[in-house]
Structure 1
Amino acid sequence: WLADLAVDAAILKQLNSLEEPSNVPYLVLAGENLIHNSGQSRLNRLAQKLLDQSLDTIFGEQNDIAVGLSSLRTIRGGAYPKVHVVTLPCNHFEYYRHPQGQAAIKQWLTA
């Protein structure tokens, strides 16, 4: 299943090539793996900075540790009518713990 996360994955090509109009609402939580320096030792800050720069180089852009932001924001080449993207200041593993992520899910479910 990890291969399905690749930018050129067959499943993504299939999903993005669909031509039927879709009326299904789609919520995307997109995280930015931002560096938080407060309360960390100098060594931890350095390690986090190196990891962030390495992942930015691998993805070629800001990312949530697992997926690049452009991949998270683009469904059907940007032609998906009912997509709602919420960008969070956290990584991929903190979406559901982050207050903004929880608020986005609650709002989406009650809309």
Structure 2
Amino acid sequence: MDLQEKELIEETLEISKENNKMLKKIWRDVKYKRFITLIYWIAVIGITLGAYYYIQPIIQGVGAGYGNFTDVISSGFENIKKVNEVLPNFLDQASNLGE
């Protein structure tokens, strides 16, 4: 093995050691970010469940107070449909009065 090949091998070894150090730092950073992300999502889910647990009795109380809210809404939609059926006849009669 001549001197040039030996220098090339040593240079390659140094570069590979440097790359290994950088890869270890990158991997450590990836693990740290995964851990922080896990803590973040645990906090988000925990706060959501805690808020639901805290607010659930309030929501049930409000729901009991208003009772059949969906029935009121559906009857409102039925009334709107009736108005849509009656409105064209009313407009026809109004235009006939103007003639």
Larger C-alpha radius of gyration, 1 or 2? 2
Ranked by relative contact order (alpha carbons within 8 Å, sequence separation 6 or more), the top structure is: 1
Q: Same fold (TM over 0.5)?
A: no
Tell me which interval the TM-score lies in, with the shorter structure as reference length: under 0.3
User: In proportion to residue count, which structure has more helix?
Assistant: 2
Per the normalisation by structure 1, the TM-score is 0.23
Per the normalisation by structure 2, the TM-score is 0.26
